[in-house]
Amino acid sequence: MSNDISLGWPAPAKLNLFLHVNHRREDGYHELQTLFQFVEYGDVLDFKITENSTLTLHSHINDVVADTDNLILRAAKLLKETSGTQKGAEIWLNKCLPMGGGIGGGSSDAATCLVALNALWKTQLSREELAQIGLKLGADVPVFVKGLSAFAEGVGEEFTPVSPQEYWYLILTPDVHVSTASIFQDPDLPRNTPKLDLNTLMSSKWQNDCQELVVKRYPQVAKALDWLIEYAPSRMTGTGACVFGEFELQQQALDALAKLPNSMAGFVTKGTNISPLELRLAQL
């Protein structure tokens, strides 16, 4: 298959349907409880497997290619080192997701790279081994590798598969980059939401403990949320900047999108408890 290009590997966005910050540990990491769900929208990666061991990344976004510390290349290198394969790859990234939006763009790209190259290089690492590699790249990468909606706790490394309702979402993407590190270091972040068991959490009203702080610090996020909440129950995902509204029907979400002011950007997509990456993998 050295001359073939393997097309259309999805790197879907995720939403944190809730995000609770339980406390800050001695080592500076935070104990969290969160619920991840995928959506049917994201970046797309194409791969060409080569017999020489070089790794090359192409993208229409120059910043991505110029960044030698890019998560996609780091993922490919770690998979090479772990598996001992001598093969290489050319990788094309079609970037649709905003960077620093809290919808997992970079983490999802890295996970898709691991899952796709493991299959295309025939390196035969287990999903668990790929998740372990992913954890070195970022706390969110393992959930994308595993490919199922999940409740996560600890510092985000303990997963329980769950199946929340698959709503239609209108996701707004404010044009601002929110640094996750700065939010978690901010003294005003609430860090004392009590830990709850999964059954209680699934039946409680969902919230994002980072939202109030981000809204205060970033007027663009506040403005997007103020607009969206008029149309549907709405929250921020992750540490922002993206916010999402939940709709029962696709048409309701599209009707709201049609009213979006020109100064804002967004898209409509469907929640899914099985990652689109799983469906692509099954096609092999």
Q: Which residues does the annotation mark as catalytic? A: 14, 140
- Name the residue among 151, 189, 173 with its Cα closest to residue 264: 173
Please state, as a whole number, how many other Cβ atoms lie within 10 Å of the Cβ of residue 25: 11
DSSP-derived letter for residue 193 is: P
Provide the strand spans (E) within the chain.
Answer: 5-24, 30-50, 55-59, 88-94, 150-154, 158-161, 168-172, 234-236, 243-247, 266-272
Quickly list DSSP for 71-113: HHHHHHHHHHHHH----EEEEEEE--SPTTSSS-HHHHHHHHH
Say how far apart CA 180 and CA 217 lie, in whole Å: 13
Does the N-terminal peptide bond of residue 131 adopt cis geometry, omega within 30 degrees of 0? no
Cβ–Cβ < 8 Å for 256, 194 = no
Say how far apart CA 208 and CA 228 lie, in whole Å: 16
Say how far apart CA 50 and CA 34 lie, in whole Å: 39
Name the β-bridge partners of 247.
Answer: 168
Say how far apart CA 273 and CA 250 lie, in whole Å: 17
